[in-house]
Structures are given as C-alpha cells and as structure tokens.
Structure 1
Amino acid sequence: MTGPTPRPHLPRGEEGETLIEVLVAVVLMGIAFVAVFGGIGTAIIGSVRQQKVTTADSVVRSAAEEVVGRPYASCAAGYATAPPPTGYTVTVTIEYWDGVGAFVRSCPTADTGVQKVTLTVRSTGPHAIGDLTLEVVKRESMPS
C-alpha cells in the first residue's frame, strides 16, 4: 500500500487564486458597474427633465411678452401667440375684472379695462413635466 502522493512544493508567490476569490472579485466589480451605470442613467434623465423645464419656462415667458405687446382687446376671445416648439402646447385663458373685487371668466356687460391672462405651457412625450403657468394682468391704455 502506498500512501497519498505528496504535492510538489511550489515556490513562494506561485500559489494562485482560488475559484471563490475570483468569484468574489467578479461580483464586487459587477456591483460597482451597476452602481456607476445607474448613476449615469439617473443623471441623464435628470438632465433631460431640466432641459424640458428650461424650454417650457422660455416658451411661457415668450408667450407672455407677446400678449403684453399686443393691444388691449375688449372682451377678447384670446390672444394669439407664436407656435411653441415641437412637444409643447400653450393655452391662453382670459379672465375679466368685474369692477367689484374679482376676476370672472365671462366678459362683464361693461368691460372695466382689466384682464388677467393666464398662460399655461405643457410638455408632451417621454419625461414630460407638469404644467408651467404664468399670469399677466393687462390694462387698457387710458387716453391722455
């Protein structure tokens, strides 16, 4: 009977890595890659949303400048604005000062010369943002 064969003695530093050590290293690198790529994806989505907010803000301010620049229209059906960029819609709502202390949606029998124009911009498509609203009070010019 012969006993177990002795393993040859390896020089120091040549023992190598075990399968468990390699698996642990691969799992740790996988976790790190998922974290990095998840962070990059979140940053991209946040950047797209911020770009939409900035564009919507620019659209609503441009529409407000157009409304302010147009002459006052007594009991106006609406104020036209330039078409917004693709993916955005602009809604214009007009309320009239009733002369007592409130704005109402319907034109009063005697127009008091004060309107509240509400401009609302909505984005569509992926990563859409909520409505962005700006109110402008428009007054009829008084003759001098």
Structure 2
Amino acid sequence: MISRLPFILGLLLTDLAVAGSIKVSQVSDLRFGVAPQGAAAVTIPAGTSETASNASFRVTGNANQSFTIAIPTGNIQMEGPLPKKLNQIDVHSFSSFPSGTGVLDPSGAAMVYVGATRTALAVNLPPGSYDGAFSLTVVY
C-alpha cells in the first residue's frame, strides 16, 4: 500500500504601497510687528487660517494621507542690532493648526498655521529689527 502524504503549497502574497514625498513650502512669516521698549509679551495664535501675523506653510504629498507635525518645543531667539548675542528676544510656546497631525486633502495639499509667544521687551533693549528662524517638520 502506498501512503500518500498531503502536498501543501504555500503561497505568500505581500502588498506594499510606497508613499511619495511630502513637501513643505513657507507661505508667510511669523510677525510680531512693531513694539516699544518695555512692551508686554505678545502671543500670536496659530489660528485656523492665514492672518497678517501667524506663519503659514503649504504641505503637499499623497492625497488623503495623514501626516505628523513637529514644531519647536523650546525657545528660539530673535537677534537684533550688534552685538547680536547681547540683543535677543525669546520666542516660545509654539502652537500649530492643525495640532500634532493633519490630513492632506483629495488634491494632496494642506495648510499648517503656526503661532508663538514673544517675551516682554526689556526697557533698555536697543531699537531695531530682530529676526530668527524656526523649523516646521512634517512626516507621513
């Protein structure tokens, strides 16, 4: 008698979708405006649309794809007239809309709005233009 063992054919199918790149383009700067020496702290809200003060960024990538938003968690310094290291204004408490995660629309685009708080200005802070930079990072 011939014994027949069952023959099992295993077939493994895999599925992989490679996400395209995600890009961020700056649309507008975060602007704290003009203030006198000794001025109080100012908070610019992230808002839900572009304003004259908040920063705005256009995110593009795969349609309907969710993405994570990372903004500064600490202070950044805006530097002014020379000597720059002595003439600084702290910016902190960054916020974004959407907050934490966003979703690209069916055309593969979304807007991200960023706000922050500028510390109170010292009464002896030299007049002039102060600027700084911060990073906005988005990932799938």
Shared fold, TM over 0.5? no
> Could you state the TM-score of these two structures normalised by the residue count of structure 1?
0.29
> Could you state the TM-score of these two structures normalised by the residue count of structure 2?
0.30
The one of the two structures with greater contact order (alpha-carbon pairs below 8 A, sep at least 6) is 2
Q: Which has the higher helix share?
A: 1
Larger Rg: 1
